[in-house]
Amino acid sequence: MNEVLEITTLTGKECLTTRSLWEQVFCEDSKKFLDYYYTWKAEDNIGYVIGKEPYKAMMFRTPYEIQIGDRKRSLSYLVAVATGKEFRHKGYMTALLQKAFACMYREKNPFTYLMPADPAIYQPFDFSFIYERQLWTLDREWIEALEDLWGKENGAAEEELQAAEYTGSCPELVRQWEEKTGYCLRSLRQGYGEEEKSEIVKKMADFANGWLAEKYEIYAVRSEEYYLRQLQELISQNGDIFIAEKNGEIQGILLYGREEEDLNLQEVMENREGLFSFLETQKEKEPVIMARIIHLEEMLKLVRSRERKTLLLEVEDPLLPQNDGIYRVEMTPEGSTVTKLKEYREAEKFYHIGDLAPQLLKNVFLNEIV
């Protein structure tokens, strides 16, 4: 007899009750990181769980404001898809994803996205890679110099360091770089007082949104809160945010975390290529973000074309059959008018829903971690 699965939706503080299952399944995550997550992020999620505490399985939908062309949409980043060891291979993950898909469809979300631990897990659910992250390397001397810049050389304990005043010291490598470029390199973690930090994160958001808008069609919108949370996440990963300034104006932003000897340069934005000359850009990129179309009609409305044209598409979606059908898409530079046809007509192109995300989600910058 098949088990009838009862899925409970969690919001706000209810999401804090999932920590024990997270600790059990994602044992590689440090206590420091989980303290950050369950202090700063968990309460903003929509959670889905099976069973009673400590729960058999769970999943979070984390909201992000996403810029898509000239429009903004609040979409969900899926994270913490987890099943307790003794409850695996019972269809719990499938049930949670289907629940989330159905909820997001009702909300008319064009798509959802995630960072997979293993892509093979999500491919059967029609997720496809849409974003590759640039990779950089940084030599050990520069890692030490950056850490010295925010006071690591004082030997302060971690909790003392977070509250410490900026030492004002400048390692030789950083000093040479500043002399050569004419820029000042400062740590968001330690380089600003509280009032100054409030002002600088406003400038960071403006700089980042301008930088992203010039280069990408789809990206997560930056805000003051976004960077303050991002800083807390990076602190939990022994990292920081560095800002290159000139005459009080931001010229570049660099985000990194570090687990023991492994440095993770998560994001680099520069007003000119090679500003952070101490970074070595690798030739290869790393596929990191997968997406799935949720409400196809809403997604198609966002498609733009330089030339006006009409296309007839037939789409099949086994998990969201509401998307099945034939669509007439009249594309313009501003967006598309979409009509789902009631009568059958032979379409010009046939797509399985899993093939559409890479086709429709191009020129993307979605570098979210959690």
pLDDT in tens, 285-295: 999 999 999 99
Count of domains for the chain: 3
101 and 162 in one domain? no
**What band does 150 get if pLDDT is binned at 50, 70 and 90?**
low
Residues 152 and 252 in one domain: yes
Asked whether residue 168 carries a pLDDT value surpassing 70, the answer given is no
Is pLDDT larger for residue 24 or for residue 370? 24
The listed range with the strongest mean pLDDT (2-16, 61-75, 181-195) is 61-75
> Residue 320: which domain range?
296-353
Are 261 and 202 found together in one domain?
yes
Distance CA(64)–CA(73), nearest Å, equals 8
Q: Assess whether 154 and 274 both reside in one domain.
A: yes
Average per-residue pLDDT for the chain? 91
How would you class 156 by CB atoms within 10 Å of its CB: exposed for 0-12, middle for 13-18, buried for 19 or more? middle
Gap between the Cα atoms of 17 and 13, Å rounded = 8
Cα(368)–Cα(64) distance, integer angstroms: 9
Question: In terms of domains, do 197 and 248 share one?
Answer: yes
Given this model, what pLDDT does residue 2 score?
Answer: 59
Residues 155 and 91 in one domain: no
> How far is the C-alpha of 206 from the C-alpha of 216, rounded, in Å?
15
Secondary structure E strands in 3-148? 7-11, 46-50, 57-68, 71-83, 111-114, 128-137
Distance (Å) of CA 238 to CA 38, 118, 143, 176, 312: 17, 25, 12, 25, 51
Residue 59: inside a domain: yes
Shared domain check, 250 and 178: yes
Assess contact for 351 and 325: CB atoms under 8 A: no
Instruction: Tell whether 20 is covered by a domain.
Output: yes
Residue-level pLDDT at 163: 41
Q: Please state the pTM of the whole predicted model.
A: 0.91
Q: Is the pLDDT of residue 187 over 80?
A: yes
**What is the CATH number for 303?**
3.30.1050.10
Q: Is 116 within the bounds of a domain?
A: no
Question: What's the pLDDT at 264?
Answer: 84
Q: Is residue 223 located within the same domain as residue 150?
A: yes
Note whether 93 and 223 are same-domain residues: no
* Encoded tokens for 297: 């009609």
Question: Does 250 score more than 90 pLDDT?
Answer: yes
Whether residues 143 and 271 share a domain: the answer is yes
